[in-house]
Amino acid sequence: MTARNKKIMWWSAGAIVVALVLLYLFCPPVHKWGNTLLGRNEKELPKPDTTKVDEFEYGRPVEEIEVETIDVPRDSMLDSLAKADSILAAGLVRPLDGPPPTHVPGFGEGPLPPAPSTDAVPNTTDEGMQQVTPATVGDLELKPSSIAVVNNRINMCRNKYNKLVDLYEEWAKRPTAEMQEIGIKLKEELLTDLTMLMKLSQKHNDEEGMEAAADLRREVNKMNF
C-alpha cells in the first residue's frame, strides 16, 4: 500500500468517526442506539400533561385535612378575677370566694419608729438651698507647680478664692441683695480664671496645676449665693 492510499484511508476513517459523533449528538435515534450499545439506559424526562397543568406546576394537590375542635374548660381563677373586677354597683365590688385574709406574722408588730425631730433636718436657706461651707485654701492640699507661669496663675486663683470665701461666710450670716450680687460676680470671674488655669496646665502637661484648678472649682461650686 502506497503512502497516498494510507493517507486516503486515514482521512476516510476520520471522516467516519466525525460523522458518527455528530449523528450521536444531534440525531435522537442514533443517540438512543449508541446509549444502548454503551450500556447507558437513560430515563426519559417526564413530559408535562397539558390537561393537568396545576398538578405539573404546583405538585400534587394536598388532600383536605379535617380539623378536630377541642373544647378547653375555662380557668376558674381567671373567671374569679373577672368577677372581682366587675362592678355591681357604684362603690361595690364582687368579692372573691375563699377564706378571709389572715394576719401575716411579723407585719405591723413592734413599736413605731421615732418621729423626725428638728435636729435631723439639714440647715437650709430661705430659698430651700442647703447651706454648705466651702473649705479654706489652708485646708486644701494645693501643691506648687514647677512651672512659673502656672504657679503664678495658681497663686492668683488662691487669692481670689480667699476673698470669695470671706464674702460667702459674711453673706451666710447676714444675707443682703448687694452682697449676693457681688458674690455671684466674683464667683463667675473665679470660675473663668480656673478654666484658664486648667487650659494652661494642660498645655504644659502640669499635673499640679490641673489638680489645683479641679479642687478650687469643686469648692467654688459649693457656694450658692
Selected residue with higher pLDDT from 178 and 121: 178
Q: What's the mean pLDDT in 192-211?
A: 92
DSSP 132: -
Q: How much is the pLDDT for 74?
A: 63
CA distance 83 to 95: 8
DSSP H or E run through 39: none
At 87 the three-state DSSP class reads strand
Question: In sequence order, which ranges of the chain are alpha helices (DSSP H)?
Answer: 3-26, 28-38, 53-58, 76-85, 148-173, 177-204, 207-220
Q: DSSP letter at 92? A: E
Cα distances (angstroms) measured from residue 130 to each of 49, 141, 165, 166, 196: 93, 25, 17, 18, 29
39: its cell numbers: 450500556
Q: Which residue has the cell 413592734?
A: 110
The Cα 182–Cα 129 span in angstroms is 19
- The β-bridge partners of 155 are none
Mean pLDDT within 20-29: 84
- Give the distance, in angstroms, between the CA of residue 180 and the centroid of all CA atoms in the same chain: 45
Task: Kindly indicate the confidence band of residue 58, based on its pLDDT and cuts at 50, 70 and 90.
Answer: low
Rounded to whole angstroms, how far apart are CA atoms 28 and 19? 14
- DSSP-based three-state secondary structure for 130: strand
pLDDT at 191 (0 to 100): 93
Give the strand pairing for 92-93 and 87-89.
antiparallel
Number of C-beta neighbours around residue 72 at 10 A: 5
Residue 181 has pLDDT above 80, yes or no: yes
The residue type at 113: P
CB 98 within 8 A of CB 83: no
pLDDT tens digits for 31-48? 788 777 776 665 555 555
What is the Cα–Cα distance from 108 to 106, expressed in whole angstroms? 6
Q: Can you tell me the distance from the alpha carbon of 163 to that of 186, in angstroms, rounded to the nearest whole number?
A: 9
pLDDT at residue 56, rounded to an integer:
47
Mean pLDDT, the chain, rounded, equals 75
